[in-house]
Chain A
Amino acid sequence: MDTKRLSNQFEPKFFKEHQEKLYQALEDKHTTVEMMDEDDPLNTKMVLNMGPQHPATHGVLRLILQLNGELIEKAKVDVGYLHRGVEKIAENKTYQEFMPYTDRMDYLSPYSNNVALCTAVEKIANVEVPERAHYIRMIGCELARISSHLIWLGTMVMDAGAVSYFIWAFREREKLLDIFDQLTGHRFTVSHARIGGVANDITDTAMAMIKEFVNTFPKELKDWHKTLDRNRIFFDRNRGVGVLDTEDALESGATGPTLRGSGYAYDIRTVTPYARYEEVEFEVPTRLEGDNLARYYVRMEEMHESIRIIRQCLEKLPKGPVRTDNAKQAYPSKDEVYYSMEGMIHDFMMTDTGICPPEGAEAYHAVEAAKGELGYYIQSDGSGHPWRMKINSPSFKNLQILEQILEGEMVADTVVIIGGVDPVMGECDK
């Protein structure tokens, strides 16, 4: 066999200039990691390229690590392999048309993304949302948070060596996807929220399924706590690994569970409550250690709190419409569209032009998604398309600190630290 042709075929093909600059940046980087003993025979320097197709990077994250023996001296994170330019696409779509793209940003908790877009548009265009829709959104968001944390639990614990967790977490997640199927009509990319409310009301089946999940899931969580909280292997793999100091966390722009694991109880749901979060009771789990174990506890406790929020929402769920009854602001209900002329015209107008916020208006609205603060900044020029839409994505900010916390760690811990930070590349790369 022609070996030369073979080696050409398997040589990684990165963009030439990009690669040169990346290596230059790695070389220029200043770190304070202490060198090991010079005489150590294991003390050999090497540059390790990890990704973008590495299975433990949860997508297409690429790391360039400069190793000294097994110690990571310097790290560079290369993102952008999933860049689809959604902000550019948003400028050419109506607000409602853009909704399915938000599903594909943080594809592990699509419901929160839909709500984030809707709340931002509602803020800029002054749309009133009915009470019942708020509660349905909260239920959806918390279910999405649990489903996202389940993926994190399954993959992170699998990266630490316990493969069976992947199966257990996915079994529970499967139930959640079935609930989403009943609630929204889709299992995965839900697109359920609408500007001015939600697409449809909770059906009786969905209600029964949510109630059953809320009753059975805490027992599973308790079992998982039992197997992990006192597990020596899990402890040793996570304690003191990937430490983000409290002083450093805010400065470096961490958000979500990563920030709360470092000691700041910064949660948008309590800081600037949206929907009806001020009417339910819940705690914001916070830890001081800032290591991977702290992030584990924060996320596990967040799942408990989510269940608590869903219970309260189910109790308080008011009766009434699920979408605002203003044809200039939201889609009319299907009954109106099928049986009245005005309804059909309004439906057509909403699809064609969409909702038009006032000219020159600007708004920023953030929600607490599973990964952290997810904000939409919208600037309007008075038409149905946004002039500029900026998505403030939590994974982007959390990956930035990865460069920092990887330094001084062992190369074997890399995958656990990535798992602990829990990035989603679709959201980071936009």
Chain B
Amino acid sequence: MDLELSETLQNVVDGLSEDFTDSFIEVYQSSGDTFIRVEVDAIIDICRYLKNEHHFIYLSDAFGVDRFTSNERFEVVYNLVSLRARQHLFVKVRLPEEGPVLPSVTGIWKSANWMEREIYDMFGIRFTGHPDFRRIFMPEDFDYYPLRKEFPLLGIPGSIELPSTTPDPE
């Protein structure tokens, strides 16, 4: 597939294939956005490299995707922005269905704190080395991960205590 990469992104791809030959899996484009997929073990090094060498200093967003496949079911996507080149770059890692664990990037971008908590809350992907690892939207007493595809749209009855919908008897 032919890629139409801007100069910055071409430099990123060249740099990654040189310095991280083993952990750089693929690069592809979709609807004009550039996505790169890397190995989980190298995510910290690659993120630090992108921030320091290629000026991707702003983490715009990080989120999970449930691919619902038998192997490498979960995907975590980091949405990086280079203010100098005015470019978005999406870095992806894939995780197994059983016990998905990922090192936290809060040491590189402080803003990853709540984003990683949201990924954990919605998909159950754990992050090691996170300073304040809790659920964010759902209460701690909730046992399920709602954005996983097997979670029903209407919720699971009785999974959480809700305020009564009928007025008090007195």
Contact = CB atoms under 8 A, between A and B. Distances in A.
Nearest to A28: B132
B60 A373 contact: yes
A364 B90 CA distance: 10
A1 to B, nearest CB: 12
A251 B61 contact: no
**Dominant secondary structure of chain B at its interface with chain A:** loop
- Output the residue of B30, B59, B161 with the most chain A CB within 10 A: B30
A17 B59 CA distance: 31
B61 A390 contact: yes
A387 B51 CA distance: 30
A16 B60 contact: no
- Output the residue of B58, B86, B161 with the most chain A CB within 10 A: B58
B31 A392 contact: no
What range describes how many residues of A lie at the interface?
Answer: 35 or more
A80 interface: yes
A345 to B, nearest CB: 29
A362 B33 contact: yes
What range describes how many residues of B lie at the interface?
Answer: 35 or more
Interface string A347-370: 000000000000011111010000
Nearest to A264: B83
Contacts of B61: 375, 377, 390, 392
B63 interface: yes
Interface string B45-87: 0000000000001111101011000000000010100010010
Interface in A78-118: 79-80, 83, 85, 87-89, 92
- Output the residue of A28, A250, A364, A379 with the most chain B CB within 10 A: A364
Nearest to A254: B111
Contacts of A17: 139-141
Contact of B32 (A252, A363, A397): A363
Contacts of B77: 377
Given A80-B137, A253-B110, A272-B86, A388 B65 contact: yes
B95 interface: no
B79 A392 contact: yes
Given A28-B132, A251-B111, A379-B65, A18 B140 contact: yes
A89 B155 CA distance: 11
Contacts of B156: none
B111 A253 contact: yes
B30 A363 contact: yes
B118 to A, nearest CB: 8
Given A18-B139, A79-B137, A253-B58, A266 B83 contact: yes
Interface of A: 15-18, 20-22, 25, 28-29, 79-80, 83, 85, 87-89, 92, 123-124, 126, 248, 250-253, 264, 266, 271-272, 360-364, 366, 373, 375, 377, 379, 387-388, 390, 392, 396-397, 399-400, 429-430
Interface of B: 30-33, 35, 57-61, 63, 65-66, 77, 79, 83, 86, 88, 90, 109-111, 113-114, 118, 122, 132, 134-141, 146-147, 151, 153, 160-161
